[in-house]
């Protein structure tokens, strides 16, 4: 949580509490009041669910441009992924910088990625399932991305392994070629807490 004088970090790692007993566990993964208390006040209107069969499948780095930008709340419900957000807001002092975290079915962590950040992940084992909430519906005319290997992300891919990529992700613009339509909102990217 941010102090009263500081704006919350734009990208946030969320660790929902789990309440367990002999039957298993229960967790609240999304609550409007709890998220608002952390500075997350978007309205989610679409849920997505992906399955990536091979280990080291890499999806990203994706975003939707204005006026159809998407805030995302990402979680892994089967397997493990390394999830990344890259600051692509023009004028940001942290433009091109990134943060990442391991999300897994076991740890239950989630990553909130606001508009103005490119998002991607790599699967760390076979048969990973990822769900994410979005604050706008899919708009093909606003679909965008940058190349996964143009930002200097330290992807946890073993030496000699080649990630599985979609045809679209193989030909995205590099960060250097990208002309960002996103504006800086005064909140620099900070390390994940």
* 132 belongs to the catalytic site: yes
Distance of CA 53 to the CA centre of its chain: 19
SS3 19: strand
Residue 193 tokens read as 């807490």
Catalytic residue among 49, 132, 138, 184: 132
Beta carbons within 10 angstroms of residue 162's beta carbon: 8
Apex CA 94: angle with CA 168 and CA 143, to 5°?
A: 25
Specify the DSSP element, H or E, that contains 144. strand 143-145
Catalytic residue among 62, 82, 95, 119: 62
* 49 belongs to the catalytic site: no
Catalytic residues, by residue number, are: 62, 132
């Amino acid at each position: 949580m941010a102090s009263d004088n500081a704006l919350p970090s734009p990208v946030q790692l969320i660790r929902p509490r789990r309440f367990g007993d002999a039957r298993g566990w229960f967790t609240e993964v999304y609550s409007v009041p709890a998220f608002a208390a952390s500075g997350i006040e978007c309205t989610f209107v679409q849920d997505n669910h992906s399955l990536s069969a091979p280990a080291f499948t890499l999806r990203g780095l994706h975003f939707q441009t204005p006026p159809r930008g998407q805030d995302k709340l990402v979680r892994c419900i089967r397997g493990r992924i390394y999830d990344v957000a890259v600051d692509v807001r023009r004028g940001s002092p942290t433009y091109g910088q990134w943060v990442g975290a391991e999300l897994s079915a076991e740890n239950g962590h989630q990553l909130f990625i606001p508009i103005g950040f490119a998002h991607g992940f790599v699967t760390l084992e076979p048969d990973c399932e990822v769900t994410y909430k979005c604050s706008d519906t899919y708009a093909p005319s606003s679909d965008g991305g940058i190349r996964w290997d143009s930002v200097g992300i330290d992807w946890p891919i073993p030496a000699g392994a080649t990630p599985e990529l979609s045809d679209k992700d193989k030909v995205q613009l590099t960060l250097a070629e990208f002309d960002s339509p996103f504006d800086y909102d005064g909140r620099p990217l900070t390390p994940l807490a």
